[in-house]
Amino acid sequence: MFVGYGVIVLLTSLGFNGVLGRRPLYGGSPLILAAGMLVAVIAGLVGGYTAGLIGPGRGLFNASLVLVPLIGDTIYVLFFFKRSTAPFWFDALAAATLMVCTLGGGLLRELSGGRGKTGA
């Protein structure tokens, strides 16, 4: 759970701060908006896949456990961290995109095959 969340934090930090240079997404160009969405999608998929890969049992279950710290982080960002100039709905939909993609990464891991299975 925590490794998957750590992957998400690392990739979103690199994407939004490093690649996008902390540019505001809301009101920006469509290219910047698409790049921000791509960062959230990739971070969610990779974080969910990582949780599904290293956790015991089913990939989707392990990815859903990543939502626990992610929801706490989202509550903090939406209600207590007032640096964003975007409306509430924009930040909420961005967080929901990240969460759905996290579950998608776990599902992708689950569908790609479990541990110990061979192709034969």
* Band of residue 51 on the pLDDT scale cut at 50, 70, 90: very high
Q: Where are the domains of the chain?
A: 2-111
* Band of residue 120 on the pLDDT scale cut at 50, 70, 90: very low
Its pTM stands at 0.86
Give the residue with greater pLDDT, 116 vs 74.
74
Stretch 74-103: mean pLDDT, rounded? 90
Closest residue by Cα to residue 64 from 48, 40, 53 = 48
Decide if pLDDT at 62 tops 80: yes
Residue 116 has a pLDDT of: 47
Give the residue with greater pLDDT, 38 vs 115.
38
